[in-house]
Amino acid sequence: MKTLGIFEVKNKLSEVCEDVSAGGEALVVTRHGKPIVRIVPYLEPEPEQSVWGSVAECQAKYGPLTDELNLPAREVSANRGDPLA
């Protein structure tokens, strides 16, 4: 991993950012020879999948959902009301 002193990074920030972005390699910034921060290339986050995408994948892999779900009755404590009522 490449390292540069903070003074040099301050003077060449645009160039340093271009190098990190183009090269894809992180840069460690040092002060008095000790690492203080790391500059890493930005990666676009992957879009989140919806629940329905997961259901569709499961149905494609295992077949359609045919079973009905029978859930047990909810127990409600004496000091709380039923939030679904």
CA 54 to each of CA 4, 50, 60, 65: distance values in angstroms, whole numbers, following the listed order: 45, 7, 10, 13
Contact 39, 16 (CB under 8 A): yes
pLDDT of residue 21: 95
DSSP label of 80? S
Task: For residue range 36-78, list pLDDT tens digits in order.
Answer: 999 999 988 777 767 667 777 888 888 887 777 676 776 766 6
pLDDT of residue 72: 73
Residue 13: is its pLDDT beyond 90? yes
The span from the CA of 65 to the CA of 57, in Å, is 12
Topology adopted by domain 2-39: YefM-like fold (3.40.1620)
Residue 7: is its pLDDT beyond 80? yes
pLDDT of residue 15: 96
pLDDT of residue 62: 84
Greater confidence (19 vs 76) lies with: 19
